[in-house]
Amino acid sequence: MRRPVLAANWKMNHGPSEARAFVRQFLERYAARPDRTIIFFPPALSLTTLADALRNRADLELGIQNIWMEDKGPYTGETSAPMSRDAGARYALVGHSERRHVFGESDAEVAKKMAAAVRNGLTPILCVGEKLTERESGVTNDVVLRQLRVGIAALDREAIAGIAIAYEPVWAIGTGRNATPDDAAAVHGILRGALAQDGDRESAASIPILYGGRVNPANARGLLSASGVDVPLVGGASLDAETWSLICATSNT
């Protein structure tokens, strides 16, 4: 049975001072649980702050929101996978919808970032998801399968077995619209089926598939209970320590 993975993506929020205050409040509210993995994805500038603040909580992991595809070089403003790992990250978000649709990141660039994460010992979480026009056109499965297959194309089977996937429907992020647990479960089933077809069923069954798209304390339990959903990847609701602690403690029963 896969361990639930709950990930907080702070996006461009909580600099070092705010991050330190957040952790203090969160640790007062959330006791360690052995049955789940909690990951924080702060802005890069706050990564070392969280690494220091969480040093006595081995149950709480850290990740980087974005990495560059090369390990070093003349790439002003970028952050490499080796730098991220040195700063305390063990995970990396790759291909987040905002990287794809705001910054124009291509599927091919996502694939290179996946490879960079793996070769530097970071566990990549490959983000896939469709826009509203794609959903209304009935091509959701085509879109997420293309993003999945291109994203893992440069990885061997052993590396693929060690990644995670996040399904984040773009139409449900910051729009006030929600995907239902059944919506999420259907796409997660498509993704896991493709992983099994391209690799082996045992490895595919062990890969966590998260859901990201307006997750909050009210819907977290329903999503956790949905078939094949190892939720959640949380944006706005993870910015408040009390709200995030409630989500982290959510039971799937």
Q: For residue range 133-178, what is the model confidence (pLDDT) as tens digits? A: 999 999 999 999 999 999 999 999 999 999 999 999 888 776 667 7
Residue 29 lies in a domain: yes
**Cis geometry, peptide bond prior to residue 232 (ω within 30 degrees of 0):** yes
- Position 244 scores a pLDDT of 96
Please state, in angstroms and rounded to a whole number, the distance separating the CA atoms of residues 103 and 28: 37
Q: What are phi and psi of 181, to 5 degrees?
A: -55, -35
- Kindly report, residue by residue over 36-53, the tens digit of the pLDDT: 889 999 999 999 999 999
Judge whether 91 lies within some domain.
yes
Whether 253 shows a pLDDT value over 60: the answer reads no
Tell me whether residue 196 is in a domain. yes
Residue 253, in any domain of the structure: no
CATH code at position 231: 3.20.20.70
What whole-number percentage of the chain has pLDDT above 70?
92
d(CA 60, CA 42): 13
- What would you report as the CA-atom Rg of the chain, rounded to the nearest whole angstrom? 17
d(CA 221, CA 196): 27
pLDDT of residue 159: 94
pLDDT in tens, 76-94: 999 999 999 999 999 999 9
Calpha distance 231→88 (Å, rounded)? 23
CB 209 within 8 A of CB 191: yes
Would residue 134 show up in a list of annotated catalytic residues for this protein? no
* Position 79 in a domain: yes
Tally of domains within the chain: 1
At a CB cut-off of 8 Å and minimum separation 6, what does 21 contact? none
Active-site residue, selected from the candidate residues 61, 109, 130, 168: 168
Cβ neighbours of residue 95 under 8 Å, at least 6 residues apart? 105, 107, 110, 113, 114, 126, 127, 128, 147, 151
Q: Among residues 14, 61, 96, 188, which one is catalytic?
A: 96
The whole domain housing 62 covers 5-248
168 is catalytic: yes
C-alpha angle with apex 200: 195 to 206, nearest 5 degrees? 70
Question: 93 - beta bridge partners?
Answer: 125
Kindly report, residue by residue over 176-200, the tens digit of the pLDDT. 677 777 888 899 999 999 998 876 6
CA–CA gap between residue 183 and residue 161 (Å, rounded):
25
